[in-house]
Amino acid sequence: MIIFVDMDEVIADAYQAHIDIYNQEFNAQIKAEECHGREFWQCVPQEHQQSIKDHTRRDGFFQDLKIIEGSQEVLTELSKKHEVYIASAAMEFPQSLREKSDWLDEFFPFISWQNRILCGNKHVLKGDVLIDDRSKNLGPFDGRSIMFTSPHNMNVTSFERANSWKDIADKLL
């Protein structure tokens, strides 16, 4: 079975990184729970929104992301049984490409370079399962689309859902 796994919001916690940077720079105390159903930039005053959107163009943003709980353990097991690919829509941010490669080397070394994909959109991927946090990726996918829960997608009901990597293990292991 070929399984594609997204990076941001699925194995790398970009949402929390946005919150942490914002809270520190604007001396705020926003928590992820307050943002359910919204992108993080939609949770801050309008005059701050552009600064959030610019986070992903900063050097080091993607290098410093924390790991989503359970992803290493479950992907280790999945990789033994299935053909697991990391597929990240990263091409919009050229500075992120090397950082994402290095991040995978550090935290997911068992997923070799042969099984890593950095792309612009995921419409052209052919496989059995896609685990992703975005409707725009899950919708066009031909196989089984599993939405991985993130604060911004809490209200989406159109896809099979996994709330955690334990859920993924229950579904696929």
Q: CB of 125: closest distance to a second copy in angstroms?
A: 6
Active site residue 8: yes
Per annotation, catalytic residue among 8, 13, 132, 133: 8
Active site residue 142: no
Residue whose CB is less far from a second copy, 127 or 151: 127
Burial 4-19 (b: 16+ CB within 10 A, else e): bbbbbbbbbbbbbbbb
Residue whose CB is less far from a second copy, 86 or 162: 86
141, 159 Cβ separation under 8 angstroms? no
Contact status: 97 vs a second copy (CB under 8 A) = yes
- Quote the CA–CA distance of 60 and 58 in Å, as a whole number: 6
Closest residue by Cα to residue 171 from 163, 113, 117: 163
State both tokens at 150: 């993130």
Contact status: 106 vs a second copy (CB under 8 A) = no
Contact status: 67 vs a second copy (CB under 8 A) = no
Tell which one of 48, 51, 70, 85 touches a second copy (CB under 8 A). Answer: 85
Backbone angles phi, psi at 34, to 5 degrees: -75, -10
Tell which one of 45, 92, 109, 157 touches a second copy (CB under 8 A). Answer: 92
CA 103: distance to chain centroid? 13
Tell which one of 16, 115, 150, 153 touches a second copy (CB under 8 A). Answer: 115
For the chain, give the longest Cα–Cα distance: 48
CA 8: distance to chain centroid? 2
Contact status: 59 vs a second copy (CB under 8 A) = no
Q: CB of 115: closest distance to a second copy in angstroms?
A: 6
What residue ranges bind a second copy (CB under 8 A)? 2, 4, 85, 91-92, 94-95, 97-98, 101-102, 105, 112-121, 124-127, 142
